[in-house]
Amino acid sequence: MNVPIETVSDKTLNLNQVENGYYYERCHFESYSDSHDYSDIVFDHCDFEQTDFSRVSFSNVE
């Protein structure tokens, strides 16, 4: 993992607001129905409303 572009803390976001290369800590992610590809992201103590990630692709995500 490279050095994060930015750290986002204590926010509520939709999954479509996630940016590749970012570090998210203590964030809450609401559901998002579109397919998406994510890479080089850290989710530290985050929670997700969405439980079906079959349309989401993750690579190099911690």
Q: What is the pLDDT of residue 53?
A: 81
**Full domain range(s) for residue 11:** 7-51
Q: Is residue 59 part of a domain?
A: no
Q: What is the pLDDT of residue 1?
A: 59
Q: What is the pLDDT of residue 56?
A: 82
Collect all residues with Cβ–Cβ distance below 8 Å to 40 and sequence separation of at least 6: 1, 2, 20, 21, 59, 60, 61
Written as tens digits, the pLDDT of the chain (62 aa) is 567 789 999 999 998 899 999 999 999 999 776 778 888 999 999 999 988 888 888 888 77
Residue 26's region, left for phi above 0, alpha for psi from -120 to 50, else beta, is left
Closest CA to 21 of 35, 46, 37, 42: 42
Tally of structural domains, the chain: 1
Q: Is residue 2 part of a domain?
A: no
Q: Is residue 61 part of a domain?
A: no
Q: Is residue 44 part of a domain?
A: yes
Q: Is residue 37 part of a domain?
A: yes
Report pTM. Answer: 0.83
Q: Is residue 34 part of a domain?
A: yes
Q: Is residue 58 part of a domain?
A: no
Q: What is the pLDDT of residue 33?
A: 65
